[in-house]
Amino acid sequence: MENEVDLFYRQMPKVELHAHLNGSVSFSTIEKLTARKPHLNIEHNMTAICSGQRRTLDECFQVFKVIHQLVDTEEDILMVAKDVIRQFADDGVKYLELRSTPREEKNTGMTRRSYVQTVIEAISQCGNEGLDIEVRFLVSVDRRHGFEVAMETVKLAEDFMLSTDGLVVGLDLSGDPTVGHGGDLLPALQKAKNCGLKLSLHMSEVPSQVDESELLLNIPPDRIGHGTFLHPEVGGAQSLVDKVTMNNIPLELCLTSNVKGQTVSSYSNHHFLYWYNKGHPVVICTDDRGVFCTELSREYQLVASTFGLSQEDMWSLSHKAIDYTFASASLKEQLHRRWLELRPSLFQTVPN
């Protein structure tokens, strides 16, 4: 049975802005996928990093490769996306921006275009179920795939932005940060921004990326994923901090992901506090809730307990996150109203 604190964070309305589709697949969904493909001999410990475990960043990317073996048809994508959306809704998330790299699988006939179409169909079907959650999609550019694929992906994102009545809202730059150089993809990212797509860029996930981060910040992006090594105390540069603060670029912060992926040594050493103390916009996110065995309500609770923040502080973080979404102005207004409607019952039920 959940205690009052657990219940507070589960019931508190939340915004999730950094959730990779395949990394968010739950244990129950993995079981359904492995039942469909027993010949792969995939066990759960190959697809998740559970309590007390840590992996190197490279090992984390190996986990994603295993999941990709399980999710290689439109049917798989539809089931996975619907399950992920429902599970975020069950955790009190009222607005979700999913992100994923369009993949083609020659063995099954899935194309990058059909991949995105299937995610959009899942969002639409969940909408018809009457779930209390608004979902939008960011098309991801995997930095490992190079410039040509990046340009194709931007064109795909633009096409779907125009054809889905606002369901596709942005472009994500992600993939193994140790491979390639983000500067090589600048023309593709600039093209995306010019055509009206919002940009969320993984940046400074690993040390020694000051030059790359300088180039990416010149665009500038609309949000930053992780930003672990931006500030000078951890090997970044004051010039990076100055650009981030001057442009007021929100950071998507994923504590459990960073600790289990060993880019941050402990929760108490997480860079959340550096930016929070500056009064800079930060959004608490999960990154890969399935792989890292977490939920957004748990991440909020971790932040509160680690840094001594009150439930009022956490409510404020959640409420402000609405302004950092890529939602339309009218949807942001609706979400603000929804938060204010829910607030009295939440604080009455679970006193601070």
Local confidence pLDDT in tens for the 352 residues of the chain: 357 768 999 999 999 999 999 999 988 888 888 888 777 766 656 666 666 677 666 666 676 677 778 888 999 999 999 999 999 999 999 999 999 999 999 999 999 999 999 999 999 999 999 999 999 999 999 999 999 999 999 999 999 999 998 999 999 999 999 998 999 999 999 999 999 999 999 999 999 899 999 999 999 999 999 999 999 988 899 999 999 999 999 999 999 999 999 999 999 999 999 999 999 999 999 999 998 999 999 999 999 999 999 999 999 999 999 999 999 999 999 999 999 999 999 987 544 4
How many angstroms separate the CA atoms of 203 and 215, rounded? 11
| Pairwise CA distance, residues 325 & 334, whole Å | 13
Peptide bond into 220 cis (omega under 30): yes
The DSSP bridge partners found for residue 134 are 95
What are the tokens at 76?
């798989």
Domain membership flag for residue 186: yes
Q: What is the rounded CA–CA span in Å between residue 233 and residue 77?
A: 41
152 is catalytic: no
pTM: 0.94
Residue 62: predicted pLDDT: 72
148 lies in some domain:
yes
Cα gap 28→82, rounded to integer Å: 13
| Residue in the structure block whose two tokens are 């993984």 | 202
Residue 351's pLDDT is what?
47
Domain count, the chain: 1
* 349 domain-assigned: no
On whether residue 208 sits in a domain, the answer given is yes
Q: Is 319 a domain residue? A: yes
Which pLDDT score, from 0 to 100, does residue 1 have? 39
Residues 6 or more apart from 256 whose CB is under 8 A from it? 286, 287, 292, 293, 294, 298, 299, 302
Could you give the angle at the alpha carbon of 322 between the alpha carbons of 317 and 326, nearest 5°?
135
Q: At what angle do helices 238-246 and 210-217 cross, to 10 degrees?
A: 20
352 is a domain residue: no
On whether residue 351 sits in a domain, the answer given is no
Which domain does 144 fall in, by range?
A: 4-343
CATH number of 33's domain: 3.20.20.140
Which one of the listed residues 97, 105, 205, 295 is annotated catalytic? 205
Any domain includes 200: yes
